[in-house]
Amino acid sequence: MKDIGFILAAYIATFASSALLAVYVLRRGRALAAQLPPQDKPWT
Protein backbone atom coordinates (compact mmCIF):
# COMPACT_ATOMS: atom_id res chain seq x y z
CA MET A 1 0.00 0.00 0.00
CA LYS A 2 1.36 3.40 -1.04
CA ASP A 3 1.93 6.00 1.68
CA ILE A 4 1.49 3.34 4.35
CA GLY A 5 3.73 5.22 6.80
CA PHE A 6 1.51 8.31 6.79
CA ILE A 7 -1.69 6.28 7.02
CA LEU A 8 -0.43 4.14 9.90
CA ALA A 9 0.91 7.20 11.71
CA ALA A 10 -2.57 8.74 11.68
CA TYR A 11 -4.25 5.56 12.95
CA ILE A 12 -1.60 4.73 15.56
CA ALA A 13 -1.49 8.28 16.94
CA THR A 14 -5.28 8.36 17.23
CA PHE A 15 -5.74 4.97 18.88
CA ALA A 16 -2.66 5.25 21.11
CA SER A 17 -3.55 8.70 22.47
CA SER A 18 -7.19 7.68 23.02
CA ALA A 19 -6.06 4.55 24.85
CA LEU A 20 -3.60 6.54 26.97
CA LEU A 21 -6.32 9.01 28.01
CA ALA A 22 -8.70 6.12 28.80
CA VAL A 23 -6.10 4.38 30.96
CA TYR A 24 -5.22 7.63 32.74
CA VAL A 25 -8.90 8.36 33.50
CA LEU A 26 -9.54 4.83 34.79
CA ARG A 27 -6.42 4.81 37.00
CA ARG A 28 -7.17 8.28 38.36
CA GLY A 29 -10.77 7.23 39.02
CA ARG A 30 -9.67 4.15 40.97
CA ALA A 31 -7.12 6.14 42.97
CA LEU A 32 -9.70 8.77 43.96
CA ALA A 33 -12.45 6.21 44.60
CA ALA A 34 -10.20 4.50 47.14
CA GLN A 35 -10.18 7.71 49.19
CA LEU A 36 -13.91 8.46 49.24
CA PRO A 37 -16.94 6.81 50.85
CA PRO A 38 -19.80 5.51 48.65
CA GLN A 39 -22.04 8.56 49.28
CA ASP A 40 -19.58 10.65 47.25
CA LYS A 41 -19.95 8.23 44.33
CA PRO A 42 -23.66 8.22 43.47
CA TRP A 43 -23.09 6.10 40.35
CA THR A 44 -21.95 3.10 42.43
List interacting residues with other proteins (CB under 8 A). Answer: 1-4, 6-7, 9-11, 13-15, 17-18, 21-22, 25-26, 28-30, 32-38, 40-41, 43-44
Give least dist CB 7 to other proteins, A: 5
CA dihedral 15, 18, 20, 21 (to 10 degrees): 180
